[in-house]
Chains A and B, each alone.
Chain A
Amino acid sequence: MTFPFAIASFDAFPSFRMSFDVLADKKKNTIGVQWFVAIAIAYLLLFRNGEVSQTPLAYFLLATALASAIVVQRLPESAFNRPVFCQALMIIDTILMSAAIYLNNESSWDLLLIFFFGILIAAIAENFLQVVLTSFLLGLTSVFISPTDLEFRLRPDGLLRVSLLFGASILYGYLAEQVKVEKRKKAVLEKTMQQRLLTKDQFLSHVSHELRSPITAIYQFVTILIDGLAGDLNPDQQEYLNIVLRNVAQLRNMITDLLEATRAETGKLAFEPRCASLSQLASEVLETTLATAVAKGVRLTVDVPTDLPFVFGDPARIKQILTNLIENAIKFTPAKGEIALRSQVDNQDPNFLRIAVADSGCGISPEGTKKIFDRLFQETETIDSNRQGLGLGLYICKELVNLHGGKIWVESDLGKGSTFCFTLPIFSLSKILYPVITDGNRLKANIAMITVGRIPANGSSPWRMTDAMRREIRKILQGCSLPDTRLLLPSVTDRGESDVFYLVDCLDQQGADLTVQMIEEKLRGSKALQVPDGGLAVSYRMVSAPRQETSLSLECLVDEVATAIRGQMLLTVSDGENEKDQTYVAEMSHGIKTPLNVVLGYSGMLRDKLLGDLNPTQEEALDKVIAHTNDLIVAFDNVLEAQRIKDRTVSVENHELNVLELLEELKMNYGTTQNKALFLIWDQPAELPVMVTDAVKLRLIFRNLINNAIKFTEKGSVRVSTEFNAKSQSLEFKVSDTGIGIAKEAIPGIFHQFLQLQPSQINPMTGMGLGLYIVKTLTHLLGGKVAVESEPGKGSAFIVTLPAHAATTN
């Protein structure tokens, strides 16, 4: 539903082209032409030197013209997009006009009418040739067919008049055509970009829906219980529920953060690597961590020389890494211990700085050093809220360092202390340019450098550019680059002395022209950029690639850009988008497991009546809390998995798996959460071969299928049956329900990621969203296939077949 609004906001054409804009609406134009023809014919036939033409042919012509005008007015919009239809109309119009001129045969006013007719035809013509042909035909008609005026028209002044009018109509047609071609080109470009925006919005919209719905239900039922709307509680129950509520609030905030982070293209949480001074960042971090260190009696020293080269990274992120490492060190260093932050150019790779945080704490065992950065949250599907201390921050550190392209490791002696080291790339313009402007070993053929700069107002002092304006310009520039070319967007410095923006994009001259135009329009249309006269100037320069050796030409290019970009720039590589999303999601999911487990664990304890008796309403409310928390966990895993699939970072970790154990675990998960009207039936043989597969992914497949079945089944049963097919050496999992079923036409679409559906088609699939897409993709990843059987109104069954490389038989 965002379509009309999004499109409307994109419309910002400069006024000088406004006059041509009417040409875009084919239907209106065609109706206009038809009425013009009708009126012109009426005029030609009824007022021939004061006489009225009485011939039946005249009336027939008039009637035809009127009828065509009326018919055209009633036709649907779509008809006007068919070229054949418009051409046919044009031919009919031309014949009608010619005939009328012939019948009139006296007036010289027809010339003027022909001129106007030419102009109007240009409005609906498909191409320039049609305009010329029509004008030519009419010119011929008017000159030679009308016998009485022939003499006048063949005189020099008469001929001049005819050819002037004739020429003018062709010229107008030509101009109109140019505008139309340009508009069409621009429309294609804008459409691609909008599609990208919409895809992103739709993805978000669904993710948002899938995460926010369960948290809403959890919140509602927890508050219903706490407020006593379901019955009285004892103080213990009250206290536990309040803990649950606090964690629900935390979850809610995290979901909001996550969605905002995913959404932000240039927003506050964006990953924006730039040229940054490590010594400055280190001293900032020192300020914030010193208090903790002093409180614990730990000495904290920083040795980062100010003459170190600049690094290329996101300052906020680098600070986050440093803070995490220092805080971690403080935590594990006893009083009177020492922590040192040191940095130098990495002696193994001179393109990197190496930063070390050394402590005199308890140290880490050799096995520990390997696992310390691991993603802990994947190991703990079960309820375990005792995960403090190690790990939480370190995993994030690893992700952030990886994002910068660096490495992180730890050196440790048990009992003596440990040193966490990581590397960050040193800032180098050529290195940043390299991936943007090269294609394999060669330079890309077309490279354009677009510059947006400030023009001082006439005579007065230059106007001031505010930070908000800079942000807006950056946003516009990012929005105006083609989606499939990578771009580099250097912008202003920290200190604000430069107000020039550069955009390096792989575009040819025409593309650059178009982009510059688009930038100009967007700048002009932006409300946030109300700048005085002169305002902003947009220009571009083609950076030609010399036909020489790659290394040389690359250097030339870098020089070219570097001369233009003077001083120290903030650099934004906007293509980091994917990585950014992934990191945020990973980061958030990491943190989100703790509150989720608290909610699940405490609700479970309450539900099992460990803290006191419950009435049936309270039981039901708690069941709902637990069920929706389970939904939320799966929704989170889905979002994470979808991101990995999108970023192609999904990997399969195969291990031996006892399927019976997995099923038992799922049974536990779902066992207590069922309401009375719906039965979950588990149906599996007593023995199953041991599979070699990725248990995490298989579990997610199961949970999605079961959740999906429960969602669409009001009453009856959901049956999870497992079978081993000895012949094909495969395991068959079938999740069948007695729910609403799926219409036959809908089946092919259900596994598609929702964004492939048209907006109007999304709604029937609302509940399916990511879940089934994940099921399909993961099943394929595990080497299996998935099938659906369904009967509307009776239920549906999803069958997942996975190869069972039976290692040993149970």
Chain B
Amino acid sequence: MDRKKILIVEDDKDIAMGLSVRLKANGYDTACASDAHSGIEVASKENPDLILLDLGLPDDNGFVMMKKMEKLPSLSSVPIIVITGRPQEVYKEATVLAGAKKYLQKPVENQELLAAIREVLGPHARPATETFPSLGRHREEQAIDSARTRKLHRRGAEDTEKGE
């Protein structure tokens, strides 16, 4: 299994779900968390290869979460891409200083997002299929999605699975 796992920490469940569908369609495994606290919890359990982090989270903000992660040896090396609606003029510098690899301004275009992920995870991280997979493939991916991950998915994500 050399599929990479991406943890999405985002409080807007619809955005998290949208990201998750998009990333899965491009051959990544995903896990979701809706606040900083559960973000760290899920990250320690799932060992993601990359974290997509929103700055405005309901409990702590993204900066605090980054700081907390830095102190945990198992998580300190996981690369972080910040995706936020907050203006980059104000936050970009601080985000990079805090250790994020990239700063993406919402709404981020799919191509830009995937390119950023590829850049951070390295050129060989992607599976061979570059194009969008067919529905069948999508379903198959979800079948191998571990039960553990599914439990962590928000209701929205589960609905998609049901709908497929």
Chain A positions near chain B (C-beta within 8 angstroms): 1-2, 5, 201, 204-205, 208-213, 215-221, 223-224, 227-232, 252, 259, 263, 615-618, 620, 624, 627-628, 675, 677, 714, 763-764, 766-767
User: Is A229 touching B107 in the complex (CB atoms < 8 A)?
Assistant: no
Query: Interface digits, B94-112 against A, CB 8 Å rule (1 contact, 0 not)?
Result: 1001000000011111100
Contact of B97 among A5, A204, A216 (CB under 8 A): A5
Does B63 interact with chain A (Cβ within 8 Å)? yes
Q: Which residue of B lies closest to A264 (CB)?
A: B89
Partner of A1, one of B14, B61, B155: B61
Bound-state Cα–Cα, A228 to B22, Å = 11
* Contact indicator per residue, chain B 59-100, by CB within 8 Å of chain A (1) or not (0): 111010000000000000000000011110111011001000
**Residue from B15, B87, B93, B110 within 8 A of A217 (CB atoms):** B15
Assess whether B163 is in contact with A5, with CB atoms less than 8 Å apart. no
Question: Which A residues are in CB contact (< 8 Å) with B22?
Answer: 220, 223-224, 229
- Chain B's nearest CB lies how many Å from the CB of A380? 25
The reply to whether A620 and B159 contact each other, CB–CB distance below 8 Å, is yes
Known contacts A1-B94, A219-B107; A208 and B87 CB within 8 A of each other: yes
Q: How many residues on chain B are close to A (CB under 8 Å)?
A: 41
Q: A217-B15, A620-B160, A766-B56 are in contact. Are A2 and B91 (CB under 8 A)?
A: yes
Instruction: Note all chain B residues with C-beta closer than 8 A to A228.
Output: 132, 135
A216 contacts B160, C-beta separation under 8 Å: no
Q: Is the interface of A mostly helix, strand, loop or mixed?
A: helix
- Report which of A5, A213, A627 forms a contact with B85, defined as CB distance below 8 A: A213
B12 contacts partner chain A, Cβ-Cβ < 8 Å: yes
Q: How far is the CB of B24 from chain A (nearest CB, A)?
A: 9
Which residues of chain B have C-beta atoms less than 8 A from A219's C-beta?
107, 109
**In whole angstroms, what is the CA distance A274 to B1 when docked?**
66
Known: A205-B87, A229-B22, A624-B14. 7 other contacts (CB 8 A): A2-B94, A209-B86, A220-B14, A220-B107, A763-B60, A766-B56, A767-B58
Residue with the greatest number of chain A CB neighbours at <10 A, chosen from B18, B22, B160, B163 = B18
Check: B138 CB closer than 8 A to any chain A CB.
Answer: yes
Q: Are A766 and B58 in contact (CB under 8 A)?
A: yes
Expressed in whole angstroms, the Cα–Cα distance for A219 and B107 within the complex equals 7
A231 B135 Cβ-Cβ under 8 A: yes
Report the separation of the CA atoms of residues A54 and B63 in the bound assembly, to the nearest whole angstrom: 57
Nearest-CB residue, chain A, relative to B88: A208
Interface contact B57-A763, CB-CB below 8 Å: yes
Asked if B164 is at the interface of the complex by the 8 Å CB criterion, the answer is yes
Chain B residues in 8 Å Cβ range of A620: 159-160, 163
List chain B residues, Cβ under 8 A from A208.
85-87
Which residues on the A side are within 8 Å of B107 (C-beta)? Answer: 212, 215-216, 218-220, 252
Q: How far is the CA of A517 from the CA of B57 in the complex (A)?
A: 41
Closest to A740 in B: B58
Query: Which residue of the partner chain A has the closest CB to B97?
Result: A5
- Chain B residues in 8 Å Cβ range of A215: 106-107
Shortest 3 CB-CB contacts between residues of A and residues of B: A220-B18, A617-B163, A212-B85
Complex: how many Å from CA A227 to CA B87? Answer: 29
Q: CA of A677 to CA of B13 in the docked complex: distance in angstroms?
A: 14
Enumerate 17 A-B pairs (CB-CB under 8 Å) in ascending A order: A1-B63, A2-B91, A205-B86, A205-B87, A212-B105, A212-B106, A216-B12, A217-B14, A219-B107, A220-B21, A223-B22, A224-B18, A227-B25, A228-B132, A229-B22, A229-B132, A232-B135
